[in-house]
Amino acid sequence: MEDIKKLNNYFDHTLLKAEATEADIKKLCAQAKEYDFYSVCVNGCYVPLAVEELKDTDVKVAVVVGFPLGAVSTEVKAFETDWVCGQGAKEVDMVINVGALKEARYEYVKDDICAVVALADEHDAIVKVILETCLLTDEEIIKACELSMEAGAQFVKTSTGFSTGGATEQHVALMRKTVGSRAKVKASGAIRDLETTLKMIEAGADRIGASASVAIMNDYLKK
């Protein structure tokens, strides 16, 4: 049972599709309560609903900011962070400005993350920085991890799940090596089965973002 509990707590049970309805979010939260997942991860407009559905439970509400492109202004990301955290979100998964990173505008990238971290800190929330690793070279992944840590983020995260690819073992391992014990690593994107989940954890992931969390857990329980 302890192993099952441990696996449960890796999951940010996720629903970020544009067509998601209030009924879908309520179902997501009910599943998270049933399986005792670490959190649900939703779009900002559904934070109040998720918080209400999960009150009096240990399941946290995570939310995406600057999603999915990361290309909105820093001011917009900061405002969004302040609002969602004010509504009860305890974890903020923000998307890095990929273009700025790729053209080596490192101060901009760091300041962008710092602005989100500052507002999250005011609400006692943590920040996960989504790197979108499928668009980056290994050197850019390393730099993005370093900037995220310098800015005070608690996690680096592989992917939005909305770009050209998701998490890979190689990228998770590289991120784990780069951050060491100074930050945690979240693997997300294209994690749809138990085998992939276990490989990501073995590669160094501290958290798993997945919409297939229930199916993965059901396969685990059959073992």
* pLDDT tens per residue, range 159-187: 999 999 999 999 999 999 999 999 999 99
The pLDDT score that the predictor gives to residue 3 is 56
Q: Is the pLDDT of residue 192 over 50?
A: yes
* pLDDT tens per residue, range 47-81: 999 999 999 999 999 999 999 999 999 999 999 99
d(CA 220, CA 223): 6
CATH of domain 2-222: 3.20.20.70
Tell me the pLDDT band of 1, cut-offs 50, 70 and 90. Answer: very low
* pLDDT tens per residue, range 123-133: 999 999 999 99
* pLDDT tens per residue, range 196-223: 999 999 999 999 999 999 999 999 999 7
Helix axes of 74-86 and 106-122: crossing angle, nearest 10 degrees: 20
The pLDDT score that the predictor gives to residue 6 is 87
77, 93, 112, 184: the catalytic one is: 93
Whether 186 sits among the annotated catalytic residues: the reply is yes
Mean pLDDT, rounded, for 120-141: 98
The pLDDT score that the predictor gives to residue 146 is 98
Whether 93 sits among the annotated catalytic residues: the reply is yes
Q: What is the pTM of this model?
A: 0.96
77, 110, 143, 157: the catalytic one is: 157
d(CA 193, CA 215): 7
Mean pLDDT, rounded, for 30-36: 97
The pLDDT score that the predictor gives to residue 5 is 52
60, 77, 184, 186: the catalytic one is: 186
* pLDDT tens per residue, range 90-119: 999 999 999 999 999 999 999 999 999 999
